[in-house]
Amino acid sequence: MAITRRTLLERLSVGALSAAATRQIAFAESSAPGPLSSKDFIRLHRNESAHGPSRHVQAAMRDAASQSARYPDAAAASLRRKLAVVHGVPVDRVILGCGSTEVLQLALDAFASRGRTILTARPTFETVAQLVRRAGSEIVDVPLAKDHSHDLQTMRDRVDARTGLVYICNPHNPTGSLTKRQDIDALLHSLPAGVQVVVDEAYHDFVGHSADYRSLIDRTDDPRVIVTRTFSKIHGLAGLRIGYGIAAAPTATIMRAHASSNDINIIATRAAEAALGDPEDVRTRVNTIADERQEFLNQANARMLQSIDSLTNFVMLNTDRPSMQVVDHFAQHRIRVAGPVSGFDKYIRVSLGTPVEMREFWRVWDLMPGGHMHM
């Protein structure tokens, strides 16, 4: 039986909505947009933060703008020192980049250039294929396991003399799922010495406490291991393009040899350093996004829609119909969602937007034939 949206909101998630509202008050410093403009698309396809940088970070950005006549080398050095302290590593093990994608590009250029292959999951972070083509390399991809983790045993079986690098995104994009730390450790133990492993931890902050998850930064004394992180997600700095990697000193030195000089701008570096100095803001964001993700799942469940368990700021939603139809439907209503995804022909990936944006998402969903909620 179809019900009105008003009844739906009354029935769903009173507790979750209350908790989210409480945290949203604490989160009032965010720069999330207000009422939607009819001329703008709602961007739910790039896994951007719906909340923007904190007030503290915005103040650092304004202050940095007054220093914009200077080259950013001193600011970059300061950020590297801060990251070294945060992660308990020497500063020569920190690599900065224009987003973590540049750090991945440096790894590809250094260790997997022409004539070598890059081993990945299928699907994976869509930018990897673009970077591999730029490096003149070739992808060898392995479908995810049934639980949507990396099938590391099969990936290990595909390693050969041409393999230069193994790419693992954990938590995984686009599924939002985890690959167990013990399984990654087992892979590392079995790999030949000449194969690098990049572990992309862009969504690390969203995981919280999990017996199956632990960052690989504590393994970066191994010269084969490179861990990448970004300020684009939890810190809301996607537009500034700032990320970093942690690796053994010899590995980091080789990668930095492929970098451009002064490629990180001063506003991005100062904003990133300010974000690192505000762990309470990160905790608030993590809790808020967890509530928003639960509310999304409540709405999906009310419509009898299934999704892949996510520990990120996005959800892979089973639409029970060809995903391209759903992507086109939302585009016609000025909402962008991600899909289709290789191997997931009836799924779309939905980034968590503001409450206003998510209400509009579900309103547009309900406009599809058969899209309304059933009880």
Q: Mean pLDDT for each consecutive 10-residue tract of the chain (375 residues)?
A: 42 39 32 49 96 95 94 95 98 97 95 91 93 89 97 97 97 97 97 96 92 95 98 97 98 94 90 96 95 97 96 97 96 96 96 97 93 55
Element (H, E) at 133: helix 127-135
First and final CA of the chain: distance in angstroms? 5
SS3 of residue 122 by DSSP? strand
Tokens for 334, please give them.
């000025």
pLDDT of residue 39: 62
The 8-class DSSP code of residue 123 comes to S
pLDDT of residue 3: 42
Element (H, E) at 35: none
pLDDT of residue 211: 87
Task: Give the integer Cα–Cα distance in Å for 233 and 204.
Answer: 10
SS3 of residue 240 by DSSP? helix
Q: 11: closest CA among 236, 315, 295?
A: 295
Task: Give the integer Cα–Cα distance in Å for 231 and 247.
Answer: 18
Task: Give the integer Cα–Cα distance in Å for 24 and 32.
Answer: 11
What is the domain partition of the chain in residue ranges? 5-53+280-365, 55-277
102: amino acid identity, one letter:
E
**Strands, E, within 163-295: which ranges?**
163-169, 196-200, 225-230, 243-247
Q: Which CATH number is 5-53+280-365's, of 3.40.50.920, 3.40.50.300, 3.40.640.10, 3.90.1150.10? A: 3.90.1150.10
Topology adopted by domain 55-277: Aspartate Aminotransferase; domain 2 (3.40.640)
Task: Please list, residue by residue across 298-313, b when 16 or more beta carbons sit within 10 angstroms of its beta carbon and e when fewer do.
Answer: ebbebbebebbebbbb
Element (H, E) at 256: helix 249-256
SS3 of residue 165 by DSSP? strand
Distances (CA, A) of 208 to 134, 283, 310, 369: 35, 10, 12, 38
Tabulate helix, strand, coil % of the chain (nearest 5): 45, 15, 40
Can you list the pairs that 10-13 forms with residues at least 24 positions away whose Cβ atoms lie under 8 Å? Answer: 11/302, 12/295, 12/298, 12/299, 12/302, 13/294, 13/295, 13/298
In this structure, the number of other CB atoms found within 10 A of the CB of residue 155 comes to: 21
Phi and psi, residue 38, nearest 5°: -65, -20
- Cβ neighbors of 85 (< 8 A, separation 6 or more) are none
| Chain position carrying tokens 């940095």 | 64
For the chain, the C-alpha Rg in angstroms (whole number) is: 21
The DSSP bridge pattern shows strands 225-230 and 196-200 to be parallel
| Chain position carrying tokens 């199956």 | 212
Say if residues 187 and 215 touch (Cβ distance below 8 Å): no
Identify whether 355 is preceded by a cis peptide bond (ω within 30 of 0). Answer: no
Tokens for 302, please give them.
């009310």
Task: Give the integer Cα–Cα distance in Å for 172 and 163.
Answer: 21
pLDDT of residue 136: 85
Distances (CA, A) of 59 to 48, 52, 236: 21, 13, 14
CA angle, 166 as apex, 163 and 171 as ends, to 5°? Answer: 165
